[in-house]
């Protein structure tokens, strides 16, 4: 099924229907709405094919050296610690050379919830060289996508998603 999906560029509709459950970020703050993160619960097959597609996409990115060397996010063997270490080293280096250093920190709240599919597809195609069946598969993966929200024992009606990408636990 996985190979068929990837070779034909089609992500089955049934695998794109998520049940979203709020996941508590920090205990003791249950009454604060922003202390919850929506987690999309998808079928096992959906997760399996996502892992296979991610592996192939990561290989493409590595083979074509498409990520900046300083990027730590979403990279194997990189972490918040490696990003912080890089920052400290850069600051110390600039101080040693008596250069002024400025830093801007940005928190992209709800970044996964606001991904515009059209923009993402154009970036993948024109900046990263993703095309053909692979691009067709990504478009199929993103559109159409639907979800139901489940809180306690209550489940909402199904809603179509116009933007966002699933955050799986």
Q: Domain limits of the chain? A: 2-66+97-161
Q: Which two tokens stand for residue 106?
A: 């940005």
pLDDT in tens, 94-110: 999 999 988 888 877 67
Cα–Cα distance measured from residue 121 to residue 167, given in angstroms and rounded to the nearest whole number: 18
* Residue 39: predicted pLDDT: 83
Of 112, 108, 169, 107, nearest in space to 142 by CA: 112
pLDDT in tens, 150-163: 998 899 999 988 77
In sequence order, which ranges of the chain are alpha helices (DSSP H)?
2-8, 44-63, 80-96, 117-126, 132-142
Single pTM value for the model = 0.74
* Residue 122: predicted pLDDT: 96
- All residue ranges of the chain with pLDDT < 50 are 169
> Could you give the C-alpha distances from 119 to 23, 53, 142, in angstroms and in order?
28, 20, 12
DSSP-derived letter for residue 89 is H
């Amino acid at each position: 099924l996985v190979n068929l999906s990837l070779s034909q560029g089609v992500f089955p509709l049934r695998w794109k229907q998520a049940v979203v459950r709020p996941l508590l970020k920090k205990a003791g703050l249950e009454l604060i709405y922003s202390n919850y993160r929506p987690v999309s619960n998808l079928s096992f097959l959906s997760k399996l094919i996502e892992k296979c597609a991610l592996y192939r996409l990561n290989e493409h990115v590595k083979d074509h050296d498409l990520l900046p060397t300083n990027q730590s996010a979403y990279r194997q063997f990189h972490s918040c610690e490696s990003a912080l270490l890089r920052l400290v080293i850069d600051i110390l280096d600039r101080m040693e050379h008596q250069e002024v250093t400025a830093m801007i920190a940005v928190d992209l709240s709800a970044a996964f919830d606001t991904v515009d599919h059209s923009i993402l597809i154009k970036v993948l195609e024109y900046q990263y060289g993703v095309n053909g069946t692979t691009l067709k598969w990504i478009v199929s993966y993103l559109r159409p996508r639907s979800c139901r929200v489940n809180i306690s024992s209550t489940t909402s009606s199904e809603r179509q998603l116009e933007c966002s990408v699933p955050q799986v636990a």
